[in-house]
Structure 1
């Protein structure tokens, strides 16, 4: 029998082993511990010789089902989970890097990731090199100088810049580096980094995987050897995914394909509309032919994603007037939800950074991150139009 398509697998994959009592849905197992009358069996489970669970910080049936599903969708040999997306990133880097090591990445990573690179890793005597995103030649040169980890994020948050995964994976492996890709924006529906040569793929499951803005979580997928090492780091350091969150993420993932397809459709329509608005200075969306990474995105992505960003004339003043006028958008620090979510990077993706740090990363204070939801596109476009029309006439008098 041929393998099912990804939309079907999003519904069915990974759940059978965790069902109980004839139920058709994975139960939420809240028990912290799992008991054994047979001491030898208990020991075999504890050392991994036999399948089972002993303590919630290590493994849990509900959490295990979530891990099995994302493993399937990413085409991985193994997967492990975390309490948040940042826990997935920090635990993975903590597993793979030691004092004296060298990591190469890009300047446009998510703000929290960037803080790890600029604030925390240097304290551990780890050499961090951040290259201009999209400058593949510069990345290749730095990797060739020596590299333990090559860390990529594509599309980036919030500038939605694109990096050629296949090209970078090739140079990373030639240097003996572990190649990691944050696939949160693309989702496994649109992009599969492991199939393009990456060693590990990371998700903030809080975003598109869950899709309903009601559960925090993260995941890492890859080879059994790498994932086992990361799991061991996580089980000792304790960034465990909560069973209830795992259940909510599982439930959300059943509609992942439907949601992402609609969000991609809406995002492209919104991006095209914004190109016609006079006060919009720039629109960033890889689905636009004018986007610098459009050709690479077309090659490695199935669709262009539900995220875009745009810069407006008047900067922060315009943002203050514009966003509260939107009726069909939550003004919040989240993305990937069924509802449209908007916010400036200064209060969302890069709130941890100073204005100077954001400017150095090419993020103006007037940049708005727009996460398209699954609403009817006519309503989203009408909403944007009425919000622009309600801006004060004198807003740009001195700009």
Structure 2
């Protein structure tokens, strides 16, 4: 069976990268833990080593198990090429440092994942790279900043943890007019719900640790997009050494086979939970792009096929209520991750933005009383009952 673009996302998640058995007819891509790959023909070895022929030389560069995972995300994102990294932050940092040098300029938004924000607030300025962070959702401000000149536009939509929405097509158009590369973190949406390349993005990043793996048991990062740009990041990663190993690559690829099924359940459950919380008297605000009251709902409806399994909300009170509410939940892991088969929750101060100070979180518009809630694949009725019993205790 061939993984052609005509196949559905559900089918591609199963077959992409795995349509040709690698070892004696194996129906599942095996874990190849070999560090080096041997050749009996020196000319063939040299051709592979110099990139003139396909093959494997050293697992820091390429590996058969990792290559199967890379092909899977390439197909799902409709990209020309893809590469894998040891973590999601490795994918983000390697991509940024591949294209940004002293004197270069990046335009992004204030609402990005905490590690990404740390890059923008501390690391990149230390290398004399100019960073302009715009109010998330203020597309006019972003267009003005991009028009002033920039080399890279970095977007995250929906954002972590406030679930704000950015019009990818609009920002990509502005970036193209300025000659800038467009990078989109698609972790929250996943390729099931959104494909940024179809909307004009050049590169798409995933923390594969989250929804793609889906079981909170393997870490990795993925980058997909234009072949020439991916090659440039590959050459940086090759020497930087932030490569993904075969074991987690296998686990992530295995998790991706059920991605469409998991995302379907999580989309449905998150919508039900968001509507329930929106109507609850003890809940002050609910942030979920599937709600018609969400400021970015119309944009999300236009560029997403589903609204995702992530939502955030704030209780009608201070952080003291959060301290009482969260431990009362029974069907939740209070843990700093997301996108798993089990529901995960926590405040940004211990999850997405733990790296930042309280002042930095406030500057980015993230209240201390916010709760990030990653919906699992449990039955939605059980999750709703769990939320209700916890809310009754505050």
Give the alignment's TM-score, normalised by structure 2. 0.98
Runs of 4+ residues over 4 Å off in structure 1: none
> CA 1:111 to 1:18, structure 2 compared with 1: closer, same or farther past 3 Å?
farther
Q: Report matched runs for 1:158-197 at 5 Å.
A: 158-197=161-200
C-alpha offsets along residues 227-275 of structure 1, whole Å, 9 cap, x if unaligned? Answer: 0000110010000101100000010000000000100111111111111
Q: Classify 1:17/1:99 alpha carbon distance in 2 versus 1 (closer, same or farther; 3 Å).
A: farther
Deviation at 1:342, TM superposition (A): 0.4
Conserved 8 A contact 1:105-1:130 = yes
Instruction: State how far apart, in whole Å, the 2-side matches of 1:165 and 1:75 are.
Output: 16
Partner Cα distance (1:54, 1:2) in 2: 30
For 1:18 and 1:318, the matched residues in 2 are separated by 54
Match of 1:64 in 2: 67
* Alignment length (residue pairs): 391
Query: Which shifted more, 81-90 or 357-366?
Result: 357-366
* Alignment correspondent of 1:117: 120
Counterpart of 2:353 in structure 1 is 350
Quote how far apart the aligned CAs of 1:9 are: 0.7
The structure-2 alpha-carbon separation of the partners of 1:174 and 1:275, relative to structure 1 and needing over 3 Å to count, comes to same
Q: How does 1:1-399 map to 2 (within 5 A)?
A: 3-17=6-20, 19-391=22-394
Maintained 8 Å contact 1:18/1:65? no
Aligned 8 A contact 1:150 1:177 in 2: yes
SS of equivalent to 2:285: strand
Aligned CA-pair RMSD? 1.0
Q: What residue ranges of structure 2 are gaps of 5+ in the alignment?
A: none
Contact kept? 2:21, 2:27, Cα under 8 Å:
no
Describe the shift of the 1:18–1:200 C-alpha distance in structure 2 as closer, same or farther (beyond 3 A). farther
SS in 1 for 2:365: coil
Partner of 1:396: none
Larger deviation: 106-115 or 355-364? Answer: 355-364
For structure 1, the 5+ residue unaligned runs are: 392-399
TM (norm. structure 1) is: 0.97
Are residues 18 and 357 of structure 1, via their aligned partners in 2, closer, same or farther at CA, if it must alter by over 3 Å?
A: farther
> Is this contact kept in 2: 1:18–1:61, CA < 8 A?
no
Do the aligned residues in 2 keep the contact of 1:313 with 1:366 (CA within 8 Å)? no
**How far, CA to CA, are the matches of 1:18 and 1:233 in structure 2?**
30
